[in-house]
Amino acid sequence: MQVHDVKQDDGQTKQYLLTKGDNNAVDDRGLYNDGQLWLSRDMIFGRVDYPQLKFVVLVLMCILAVFEEDE
């Protein structure tokens, strides 16, 4: 998730978020509940700190799984 513009954050104001994938032309509102236009901060469960590293680890695990010998 990238934050594009934050004017001021006092830590007490409720934040509303709109998500969009990097390779998507449109936002993710089609994935939200009917009538829901925004996500609140408490609906966000986690984040990816090092996405490239996690991708490399996932690829290595897949390669190991493919070449693993069954007993």
- Beta strands (DSSP E) in 1-71 are 16-17, 39-40
Residue with tokens 């469960």: 45
- Cβ(50)–Cβ(57) under 8 Å? no
Residue 71 pLDDT more than 80? no
Q: Please, which pLDDT band fits residue 41 given cuts at 50, 70 and 90?
A: confident
| Model confidence, pTM | 0.44
Check residue 35 and report its DSSP letter: T
Longest dimension (CA), the chain: 60
Calculate mean pLDDT across residues 41-57: 82
Asked if pLDDT for residue 63 goes beyond 80, the answer is yes
Q: How many residues does the chain have?
A: 71
Could you report the per-residue pLDDT of 1-19, keeping only the tens digit for each?
Answer: 555 566 666 677 787 888 8
